[in-house]
Amino acid sequence: MASTLSLIFLTLTPLLLFSHHQTLAQKAPAPSSGPANLTGILTKGGQYTTFLRLLSETQVGNQIDNQLNSSTEGLTVLAPTDNAFNNLKAGTLNGLSRQDQVNLILYHVLPKYYTLDNFQTVSNPVRTQFSDDGLNFTSQGHQLNVSTGLVETQINNALWAEFPLAVYQSDAVLLPPSLFGAKSPASAPPPEKSSSTTPADSGDKNKTKEAAAPSENSTGDSSKRNVGLGLVAGLLVVCMGVLS
């Protein structure tokens, strides 16, 4: 009898230690009460107001609720914190069309339920709800990273992990390369046939983008503009002098 008990104890101890390690410094997922509810989980998490707003504005939140009800595979959500959104370059979200905001949010949703352990052996790239781009997961010991090719961050805090829904904290907004990768030489599409394209063309292509998110080094430009304004004003004064 005693040996059976100690056997059970010995079997359970590593499991307990392991799960303790995994959930260290995090609120244990609340015991299941009612159906998994992404909004409720994120609200309770307390640092996901931007993500919650986007889920609601893009209707992806509703889509997830419906999918949870019908999916046999479950879903996994990598939820960026408010800090993660604050760390984005100014204008990043507003620079996206409505459809691309939807795509950005869908990129954080995986059409399958994954535990943290599942990620350690998953084969890359992992499909997301944004069909254009996948995510790569790499691990070393208990450290698990997710990478988009543009952004890499650690995943270790489970807000919820109970089939059919898993929700993990992401300390970065995962930027899909097909929306944000234009500037990366590695993923940039090959240039069009150079027959008729002039350098001026390619230079002009992304003026809109730069205008939407001005760089901090615009002093040079604006001082040039000021010189231009000064010249115009000077000419006006001269003209008025001539006229009067």
Ligand X SMILES: *[C@@H]1O[C@H](CO)[C@@H](O)[C@H](O)[C@H]1NC(C)=O
Q: Candidates 131, 197, 206, 222: give the one binding ligand X (CB under 6 A).
A: 206
> Among positive and negative, which fits the CA dihedral 239, 241, 242, 243?
positive
Q: Which residue in 20, 11, 208 sits closest to 96, CA to CA?
A: 208
From the list 55, 62, 155, 48, the residue with the least C-alpha distance to 107 is: 55
Closest approach of ligand X to the CB of residue 40, in Å = 3
Residues of span 18-77 touching ligand X by CB under 6 A = 34-35, 37, 39-40, 43, 69
CB of 172 closer than 8 Å to CB of 80: yes
- The smaller minimum CB distance to ligand X, of residues 111 and 151, is found at 151
| Binding span for ligand X by CB under 6 A among 11-19, 48-56, 78-86, 200-208 | 200-208
Tell me the residue number closest to ligand X, measured at CB: 40
Dist CA 101 CA 14 (whole Å):
43
Distance of alpha carbon 167 from alpha carbon 47, whole angstroms: 13
Q: Which is nearer to ligand X, 82 or 100 (CB)?
A: 100
Nearest to 175 by CA among 84, 90, 97, 110: 84
The residue among 92 and 139 lying less far from ligand X, judged by its C-beta, is: 139
Q: How far is the CB of 69 from ligand X (least distance, A)?
A: 4
Nearer to ligand X, 6 or 218 (CB): 218
Q: Of residues 136-165, which lie at the interface with ligand X (CB under 6 A)?
A: 136, 138-140, 143, 145, 147, 149, 152, 154
Binding status of residue 218 toward ligand X by CB under 6 A? no
- The count of other CB atoms within 10 Å of the CB of residue 116 is 19
**Selection from 64, 81, 55, 94 nearest residue 174 by Cα:** 81
Site for ligand X, rule CB under 6 A: 34-35, 37, 39-40, 43, 69, 124-125, 136, 138-140, 143, 145, 147, 149, 152, 154, 182, 205-206, 208-209, 215, 217
